[in-house]
Chains A and B, each alone.
Chain A
Amino acid sequence: MSSNTLNSEPAAAALDNYVGFDTITQQIEKKLLKRGFHFNVMVVGQSGLGKSTLVNTIFASHLIESKARLAADEPPRQTTEIQTVSHLIEEHGVRLRLNIVDTPGYGDQVNNENCWEPIIKYIKDQHSAYLRKELTATRDRYIQDSRVHCCLFFIGPTGHALKPIDIVVLKKLSEVVNVVPVIAKSDSLTLEERQAFKQRIKAELVFHNIKLYPYESDEDDEQEQALNESIRELLPFAIVGSERNVIIDGKAVRGRKNRYGVINVESEEHCEFIYLRNFLTRTHLQDLIETTAQIHYEAFRAKQLLAIRESTHPASAQPSVASPTATMLSSPMAPTVMSPSTIGSPATMGSPAQSQKYVL
Chain B
Amino acid sequence: MAHRLGGRRKNVKKGFQFTFMVVGTSGTGRTTFVNTLCDSNVLPNKICDNPEDAHIEEGINIKPISVDLDEDGVRISLTIVDTPGFGDNIDNERCFHEIVAYLERQYDDILAEESRIKRNARFRDNRVHALLYFISPTGHALREIDIELMRRLSPRVNVIPVVGRADSLTPQELKDFKRRIMEDIEHYSIPIYNFPYDVEEDDEDTVEENSELRALLPFAIIGSDEEINVNGRIVRGRQYPWGAVEVDNPKHSDFGRLRSALLSSHLQDLKEITHDFLYENYRTEKLSRTVSGGDQEDASLNAEDMASQSVRLKEEQLKKEEEKLREIELKVQREIQEKRAELSSKEEALRSLEARLAQAQLAD
Residues on A facing B (Cβ under 8 Å): 46-49, 66, 68-70, 72-73, 76, 108-113, 156-165, 167-168, 185, 187-188, 190-191, 200, 203-204, 206-208, 256-264, 269-270
Contact = CB atoms under 8 A, between A and B. Distances in A.
B93 A72 contact: no
Given A70-B141, A164-B90, A260 B180 contact: no
Contacts of B52: 207
5 contacts: A48-B136, A68-B139, A161-B54, A256-B170, A260-B246
Contacts, number: 144
Contacts of B136: 48, 156
A108 B143 contact: yes
Contacts of B137: 48, 185, 188
Interface string B168-195: 1111000000001001101110000000
A165 B180 CA distance: 27
A160 B140 contact: no
Given A72-B187, A164-B57, A188-B137, A257 B92 contact: no
A112 to B, nearest CB: 5
Given A76-B143, A258-B170, A262-B242, A70 B51 contact: no
A260 B244 contact: yes
A66 B173 CA distance: 14
B48 A160 contact: yes
Contact of B56 (A164, A165, A190, A270): A164
Interface in B51-84: 51-57
A163 B243 CA distance: 30
Interface stretch (B198-206, B233-241, B337-345): B233-241
Contacts of B26: 158, 160, 163
Given A48-B139, A167-B54, A110 B92 contact: yes
Given A113-B90, A164-B90, A68 B49 contact: no
Chain B interface extent, by class: 35 or more
A237 B240 CA distance: 17
Contacts of A256: 170
Contact of B171 (A49, A111, A188, A258): A258
**Binding site secondary structure of chain B:** loop
A264 B244 CA distance: 15
B90 A258 contact: no
B242 A72 contact: no
Given A68-B141, A158-B26, A168 B241 contact: no
A43 to B, nearest CB: 15
A162 B54 contact: yes
A208 B169 CA distance: 33
B91 interface: yes
A206 B241 contact: no
A208 B141 contact: no
Given A204-B54, A258-B167, A269 B241 contact: yes
B354 to A, nearest CB: 97
A38 to B, nearest CB: 31
Contacts of A68: 138-141
Contact of B144 (A66, A109, A203): A109
B85 to A, nearest CB: 11
A257 B170 contact: yes
A204 B55 CA distance: 9
B241 A191 contact: yes
Nearest to A202: B51
Contacts of A49: 138
A200 B48 contact: yes
B90 A165 contact: yes
B242 A113 contact: no
Interface string B125-154: 000000000001111110111011000000
Nearest to A66: B140
B314 to A, nearest CB: 39
Given A164-B57, A260-B245, 18 more contacts: A48-B140, A48-B143, A72-B184, A108-B144, A111-B92, A161-B46, A161-B48, A164-B56, A164-B88, A167-B54, A188-B137, A188-B165, A259-B170, A259-B251, A261-B244, A262-B243, A263-B242, A270-B242
Interface in B30-57: 46, 48-49, 51-57
A-B residue pairs, 9 tightest by C-beta: A48-B138, A158-B27, A261-B243, A261-B242, A72-B187, A260-B243, A188-B168, A161-B48, A203-B51
A190 B49 contact: no
B266 interface: no
Contacts of A188: 137, 165, 167-168
B88 A261 contact: no
Interface in B241-287: 241-246, 251-252
Interface centre among B48, B147, B171 (most CB of A within 10 A): B48
Contact of B49 (A69, A108, A112, A200): A200
B89 interface: yes
Given A156-B27, A167-B55, A259-B171, A69 B141 contact: yes
Nearest to A158: B27
Contacts of B245: 259-260
B168 A187 contact: yes
A68 B147 CA distance: 16
